[in-house]
Structure 1
Amino acid sequence: MDKLALGTLGQHLQTLRLSQGWTLSQLAAAAGMAKSNLSRLEQGIGNPTLNTLWRLAVQLNVPFGTLVAPIAVPLGEDGVEVHLLDQGKDTPQVDAYWMRCAPNTTRHAEPHTPGAHESLTLISGRLEAGPEGATTPLTAGDTLTFAADRPHLYRTTDAWATLLLSVIYHEEPAP
């Protein structure tokens, strides 16, 4: 991420944190990160991983797309590149992403908020995806929907894989 994108993300993260009444210490502890790392991230000088951003979104109880919406550049690390395409404005909240994975890459994804589902369509390549321990092999044109509120993964073979991914954030039923 370039300096402008990091600065924009930091300011947006701080706004979300403050609007929900979280202190730096509280959010850092809840997200399992050092307070100094969260502070640097809010100042626009951090270097967040995708997992860190997902954990922050989960703790703030916002869709991942809401956290990264102000950033126009793709996010990426370790052979995986993700770009937010659009966020729905209806209920349930639906975020749409373009995702590209390098050959021989395994991406372990942390659980999303309770009730979340993913639906992905593989555009090219081959991919194994789904909840850890229950993945499904996919080829171009295949679509898979699964519960994303538990650990899941994406694993490529010897070629690049490109996919369209939707995350559907269902509200938890009232007790």
Structure 2
Amino acid sequence: MSAAARKPAAERDAARTAELGARLRVLRQTREMTLDALAEATGLDKGYLSRLERGMKNPSIATVLRISEALEVPVAELFGERLAEHAVRVTRARDRLSLSPAGDSAHGIEALSRDGAALEAFVLHPAAEFSADGHAEHAGEELFFVLRGTVELRFADRGFVLEPGDCAQFPGHLPHRIRRVGAEPASALVAVARPPRERRGRGGG
């Protein structure tokens, strides 16, 4: 085989090794497992595992089996050839969970994400008035995307009037309040990326 023919094969192997490393890191972090903990569970060196996650090492079958057992995932999932049983969750519109009804003084909330998900998402139907409970504050990053109607997003010293298609992104620890503007119904997609172990709680102030 010529050098030119070997180069694409080497590049493909390097890409597969990098993908395996990235997948391993995601699976480990999803389980909130440190490299130290994985090293202890597998009997492998922490430095070796770190290089593996960075795509710098190509593991043997024995190593893959150890990691698979420690992470409690099928080997095929490590190689991206099989989805975890609950990796993809589809919620039909008819099955969407309504957490609270919409009203003039209360936000309507429909859950989109599953319990324990790293990304919490819901559809918010803002009330006509700001919540009497005061400002909402939470850990993580929030993304607020207006689907219909007009919405006011207010912070401590400024407010923003958002129309359909407008989007705001901000740290969740900033005190904020939300209300619809006008008589027409409004709705927004809200996504909150929470840090691990953060106690869950639906937002929208």
| TM-score when normalising by structure 2 | 0.41
| TM-score when normalising by structure 1 | 0.47
More relative contact order, 1 or 2 (CA 8 Å, 6+ apart) = 1
